[in-house]
Structure 1
């Protein structure tokens, strides 16, 4: 029964219960039928038979009394009436007696004996009637004597037979009643026995069926709870139920689940532990244990291995490129810082020259004021002024040349800032690919990009200042040319010395104003150059730090054992998505 299907077990159990119910019903039906039969026999046979027998006894007494009355009648009418009553009583007696015999034929001999006695006594009864018909004392005495000596013994015999029949019938009724009670008791005992046996069998079947169903379910439930709590080792061996029914199949499937987890989870744990330790040069053990949709877990682990190995390999290559780029940026930044230092020295020299020009212009203005009083010395002063103007033009040209050189340097700074920005963006992208390992590298790349942006902005500001300076120098050159032209005319037009001196004073004032502007512009250029120098030094320092971070990143990548197809020949193929 253990290997039967659960449905068949339940069907068999209920079939047994139904069979027991059927047996109980049959037993109850038979018992009820027996009791009903006994009751019917008692009601429909015994009671009517006893009733007819009692009626026959009553009529025999009436019959006897009428015969006694006939022995003492004194007229024909009374005698005829008594004879008629005697005949009627005799017929009623025999009717009840025959009805009694119909209900209980076992007393046929006794009834036949009564008929014989009554038939034999018929002639005696006629003699009594004949004697009574004399209607005299002697006739009545004769009739009574015949009755007493001849007829009464027959009636006594009949009465005795009736009494015996009554006794026997009552005993038979009592026996039947006792038999009915015994049958009822036996039926009750049988029903109780059947009920108890059925209850015991049902309880036994229920216990067996419950044990057959509950035991494996409890084992499976306990093992599933252990699996749900991650206690795989404790779950092993908890399911001992084995059968070919549905629960046996379920228990077998549960054991397969436990074995599957015992095979797969340690493999997954080993792979993840190797990944956590930086060893990607590994594969899943128990490869064929990953069946069905669980193969996606295995494929996902291999996919992670392949992609992380490829990503870290790319990071390694990018770190090499970044290291090379940072070295170039560092060299460029150092060169830029050195050029900025030289430019600062040139600008300082230019500032000193402009200050000298400013003093010369002031002296020229003073000389122009004195020229009105000293017209005789105008020629010499004009020559001196021409010489100074030539020097001023030369200084202006040098400033223009320095401005051109400064513009080139600023252009170089802009290019370096642009390249640095590109390198920082590339470094940020590679850091983002590296994930958590490239976090510090991303911060350095962002700082480099900010410094590059500041350098580009400072270079643009320097360009605008230099352009403004060049415009001022062009204006100064024009003014110097006009002054030179006017100073040349001074020697030719001595009479216009005063007017020319006034113009010279005005021109000198304008030149002084222009020189002031040039001085301001040069100071601004000097500040920009100093800022560029500081920025270049910061760029160089950042490049050095970035180079160190690149080296650190490279060393970090080297700490990983990366997977490659060539190093894993013969293992399971990598997974692509």
Structure 2
């Protein structure tokens, strides 16, 4: 959503208001800051004044008493007064009255361990000088020391200033002056009395409160207060350099501004302070006054700005409203009520009046011309004199008329041509639809024939598969027959070998029979020689000879039979070898037949797959052609509808006048 544009008066107010407010706030803020700074400086000056008063008095008190004691010690050492004890005691007794704030002076002698007092006071028997602060602090120090304040037996707050006395380089005693600090305490009290809530306090390096305007915090013989054991917090002041103002918390828990300063020759610190609440109250009052002033100034500026915008910017708003009405088409808006209180507004109103009249005339003629165009009459032309850039409107209307005339003329010609083209498209679409239907029928028949071929090939594949199994079994049987034939060949070889052995044995028997026959012949000869005595032996020899002859005949018959068997065995071996070779050829042929059968089977399977894919492609093609047929029929309907619309367009174009 676009941002809303502000009015001129609101923009002027938006620009001037922040400027006025900024200047007022800057002025008041600067004055307030200056006032606050002055208040803080005044606050610091009060604290500095109180601090200067207290530190000056303390410095004067301590310095004068140190000078006094140093002078006294120098006189004692120079005149060796410690040797004349009677005169020395009288001399000490005359001192307190001549020096303000000196309560008493006494001398502790190391040789006699005796005290010489200005008041002729004799210490108690159990009094131990070595436990006194002035004894401890001066030990090993060749100079003056100051002890922390304490409550004397007379009830006054005093501090001891001590110095060791020398006889040459020998320590002979300690000179001590008890100095009352009541005057310094009174100065602290006077500071509080001079300014409400302005006061100072004195602490030592251990933060023990030594002096305070409130008696409740002043040390007593029984108690001394320490800042760390109270709700006060002076950490910022104690850590800051001397003379720097810091914010701290006093003994009563209130926030205060503090400046510190050390007292020379001591470890005492003066803390001068003033509550911050008074400065804060003054700052609040200043801020309130500034706020009231700022509100008054802003209200006055607002009134002046509203008056100016109402007087001089309201006519511009009226002109703006008139322009808004004209931009919305209200060209008869009354401009007479616009307040012409300046030359610029008068010129602006006159120009707006002329613009409204010109636009009214121009739009009237443009409306009339466009009405003729809407009725189809493009012979109408604008006749008014269009000024300045408005002349482009007249030129544009003339160009529109000429362009539309040319366009309509071309459109009529194109309509006639399109009518003829639509007729041709109608005829082509009709022919395309008829051809697509014929192609669809042919593809359907081809698809059915392909399915039948695929079915036949599938059957052949199944038969080839069966034949392949039979061939595999035949190859296995041939392999088994070859193994049996190999065994038969081995058996025939064994038989032939055994027959040869038998033949050798028979030949041996034949040789034995021949020898037996020869022996029988020899026996017959010998029996003949023997005569009658050898007849019996001759008979036996004859029988043996006859047996030998028969044996020879039988062996000869067996030998012939074995020879015949050997011939038969040799022929059998040849037949077996021939059978073995034939079986080997059968095995080789069976394996080749098996491989060929498997290859044929594989080819048949691939052909079946290709035919199935071809069938699917034909079905897809049939679907596409059917879709094309449907599209052709739709094109035919579209062409017929286009022909109807072209005729209607031609009738409408005839209505225009060009």
TM-score of the superposed pair, with normalisation by structure 1: 0.29
Which has the bigger relative contact order, CA under 8 A and spacing at least 6? Answer: 1
TM-score of the superposed pair, with normalisation by structure 2: 0.26
Bigger strand fraction: 2
Bigger helix fraction: 1
